[in-house]
Chains A and B, each alone.
Chain A
Amino acid sequence: MSYQDATATLDLETREAIDIDRSKGDFTFPERNKFDAGRGLTDKTVDYICDVKNDPDWVREFRHKALKVFRDKPMPTNWATKDLENIDFDVIRYYLSDGEKPKRSWADVPADVLETFERLGIPQQERAFLAGVEAQFDSEAAYSNVKEELTKQGVIFCNSTEGLKEHEAIFRPWFGKVIPTGDNKFSALNSAVFSGGSFIYIPKGVKLKQPLQAYFRINSENFGQFERTLIIADEGSEVMYMEGCTAPKFETATLHSAVVELVALKGAKIQYVTVQNWSSNVFNLVTKRGLAMEDAEVRWIDCNIGSRLTMKYPGVIMKGERARGEVISIALANTGQHQDTGAKMIHAANNTTSNVVSKSISVGEGRSTYRGQVFIPKHLKGCRNNTECDALLINSNSRTDTYPAITVKGNRHATQHEASVSQVSEDMLFYMQQRGLNQGQAMSLAVNGFINDLVREFPMEYSVELKRLIDLEMEGSVG
């Protein structure tokens, strides 16, 4: 199955073959993979990945154990959508790479990969406002760089393979600890075949002024992307990490199943920002969780646009006193899409505070689901949770469901829950149209207004992108 074409450059035909749709992520380049694990998932697939990546024995063992867990665990269709059954694990390709090491300079990145990321605006963003960038193309990072001054301060920013090999002493104690292999079927899958993703370590007291960014790009059809990210913020440090994702629109389904673990040690602060814009055939099944120690703070700022099915419930375990956890999330489900998102807030120490604000928009036959879990045990005191989930339905056949599960034991806590469902009223539309906005523009404006207070939580550069994506989604989706 694998082939290599060292002469692959961008001839005219290729350029013309690239179909630029209205969504800027919808283009692909011919594959030129040196390493291809083939289709389907067996012990051999796992060994192939270990061999190619030259994994240490403990990782090989970790992967094989995980594969067993994955096989043993049933699909969670007892509570989740039946659409999960449509994932064909036998046709998915679990590892693809051109065999190149991540480059420190864009000039060294192969032409097709470079053009991909240039079209997505990554090098430009790096120059404008980022402290470091990692750009992953299918299974491996093509580019990875962090500002020299940060390296001097001891900041580590590399991919997971480099992390587990070269920084084992820091990496290994936390790896798989926030999200154990057996957390769910897809965390087990990721643990078996993970590749790429970021490893970040911020030393004590170091506060990054600019964000670090990772960009995950799927280029090949039937490909499964399984990046693995571990971020450790040592005592009193601060970091903002941003991730973006796109894939071209293929005929067949693509799987993205990441595991992201965050560790905020005493007094540290981690903000994790996601703007996902997967094409409408991607199954996006991601497990994200953070651990917040004493006085630490973990914030997930999450925007889910696109994909066929997204299941993602970022969580925070507040393990130290006065720890804070927050999930700010925006989801937009268009026809043929199901955004099943939410938050998990586990209070495990006194005086911990969590906040969940979720807004979803369902367009056409799109379906959005909020699933929340808040847990405050009896032996604690002074815990607080605030949960707000608001849904906006654009069309009469749009759908939204809310499943908030708030478990509070004992009487020394304070929780608050608010939920609302609204529609863009005929009166509001008429008013806006009377001012000269066509129906699509009016809907876009109404939707942007609905999520406006949350968009402000995103870094400025992302909020502009977010607004543009929403305008594109709303265009032609009304009537």
Chain B
Amino acid sequence: MSLHIQDLHATLEDGTEILKGVTLDIPQGEVHAIMGPNGSGKSTLSKVIAGNEGYVVTAGTVTLDGAEIFGMSTDERSRAGIFLAFQYPSEVPGVSNANFIRAALQARLPKGVDIDAVAYYKNLYAKMDLLEMDRKFTARAVNEGFSGGEKKRNEILQMMMLEPKYCILDETDSGLDIDALKIVAKGVNAMRSPERGMLLITHYQRLLDYIKPDHVHVMAEGRIVRSGGPELAHELEKYGYDFLKEAAFA
């Protein structure tokens, strides 16, 4: 059981190729990290997996526990168990966080079955406590007027509530101060489980000090150029990406 990406090629709508053959296997129970310089295609990879219509898949497959996902819409993929924590989460004006998460959970239930409101709030408050979020947060509109740290915490809260099979976290550490980073990491670590696979996309080693990955991959120019254990992240931190690019194309 895994989220498997096989020789994935994708372009922008204008034909510019961003992903140039990405192969990656994220089995249940493992945490993988993708690192790489800006523009290497990390974020594009996450959006293509989630089904963003701004990209065209020209070759390759992505399977979720063996099932091909490219025939599925974005919301079907979500309900099948793929979650993307956005680098820049969108605002949803006028819709409270509590109602938004509730609607997302409701969308996973069969027609005619309603969410148990009492159990829902109990669960929501427990997760918010873990992420050190104020109770007032439930009534605030989704991401409207949120600080960068609040937005990222909100992404993790949604992830914890939806309990996806595979989590993709896109630059979750960017714009976080060290205290917020620790809280976010606490949430992510609480989600680690033998039944769940995770993909952390990050520019910096810093996040990996708090969320220890099982595997680290380096992406450059739309390809995975190197894979290794956690020590690879430290090497990158020490020598920088240029060193790797040279290694890849030597």
Q: Residues of A with Cβ closer than 8 Å to B? A: 425-428, 430-439, 441-442, 445-446, 448-453
Binary contact readout B73-106 vs A (1 if CB under 8 angstroms, 0 otherwise)? 1110011000110100111111100011001100
Are A428 and B90 touching (Cβ within 8 A)?
A: yes
Residues of B within 8 A of A428 (CB): 90-92
Residues of A within 8 A of B91 (CB): 428
Are B50 and A432 touching (Cβ within 8 A)?
A: no
List 11 A-B pairs, Cβ < 8 Å.
A426-B54, A428-B91, A430-B52, A431-B92, A432-B90, A434-B86, A435-B75, A435-B104, A436-B78, A445-B95, A446-B95
Interface size, chain B (Cβ < 8 Å): 29
**Residue B172 lies at the interface, judged by CB distance under 8 Å to chain A:** no
If A437-B75, A438-B73, A445-B95 are given as contacts, then 8 extra A-B residue pairs at C-beta distance below 8 Å, sorted by A number, are A426-B53, A426-B54, A430-B53, A434-B50, A434-B74, A434-B84, A449-B94, A452-B94
Q: Please, which residue of chain B has its CB at the minimum distance from the CB of A437?
A: B107
A261 to chain B, nearest CB (A): 34
B67 to chain A, nearest CB (A): 17
Are B107 and A431 touching (Cβ within 8 A)?
A: no
Q: Please, which residue of chain A has its CB at the minimum distance from the CB of B168?
A: A434
Q: Please, which residue of chain A has its CB at the minimum distance from the CB of B80?
A: A436
Are A436 and B90 touching (Cβ within 8 A)?
A: no
**Residue B212 lies at the interface, judged by CB distance under 8 Å to chain A:** no
Among B75, B83, B89, B99, max chain A CB count under 10 A is at B75
How many angstroms between the C-alpha atoms of A353 and B136 in the bound complex? 33
Residues of A within 8 A of B73 (CB): 433, 438-439
Residues of A within 8 A of B93 (CB): 449-450
Residues of A within 8 A of B86 (CB): 431, 434
B53 to chain A, nearest CB (A): 8
**Residue B135 lies at the interface, judged by CB distance under 8 Å to chain A:** no
How many angstroms between the C-alpha atoms of A449 and B83 in the bound complex? 23
**Residue B162 lies at the interface, judged by CB distance under 8 Å to chain A:** yes
Closest CB pairs A-B (n = 3): A449-B94, A431-B90, A449-B95
Given contacts A430-B74, A445-B95, A446-B95, contact A436 B104 (CB under 8 A): yes
How many angstroms between the C-alpha atoms of A438 and B74 in the bound complex? 8
A467 to chain B, nearest CB (A): 10
How many angstroms between the C-alpha atoms of A435 and B86 in the bound complex? 11
Q: Please, which residue of chain B has its CB at the minimum distance from the CB of A441?
A: B107
Are A445 and B92 touching (Cβ within 8 A)?
A: yes
How many angstroms between the C-alpha atoms of A426 and B74 in the bound complex? 13
Are A433 and B78 touching (Cβ within 8 A)?
A: yes
Given contacts A430-B52, A434-B50, A445-B100, contact A439 B92 (CB under 8 A): no
**Residue B158 lies at the interface, judged by CB distance under 8 Å to chain A:** yes
Binary contact readout B120-152 vs A (1 if CB under 8 angstroms, 0 otherwise)? 000000000000000000000100000000000
Residues of A within 8 A of B83 (CB): 434
Residues of A within 8 A of B78 (CB): 433-436
Q: Please, which residue of chain B has its CB at the minimum distance from the CB of A431?
A: B90
Residues of B within 8 A of A441 (CB): 75, 103, 107
Are B79 and A436 touching (Cβ within 8 A)?
A: yes
Are A448 and B95 touching (Cβ within 8 A)?
A: yes
Residues of A within 8 A of B92 (CB): 428, 431-432, 445-446, 449
Residues of A within 8 A of B103 (CB): 437, 441, 445
How many angstroms between the C-alpha atoms of A434 and B108 in the bound complex? 12
How many angstroms between the C-alpha atoms of A436 and B107 in the bound complex? 6
Residues of B within 8 A of A434 (CB): 50-51, 74-75, 78, 83-84, 86
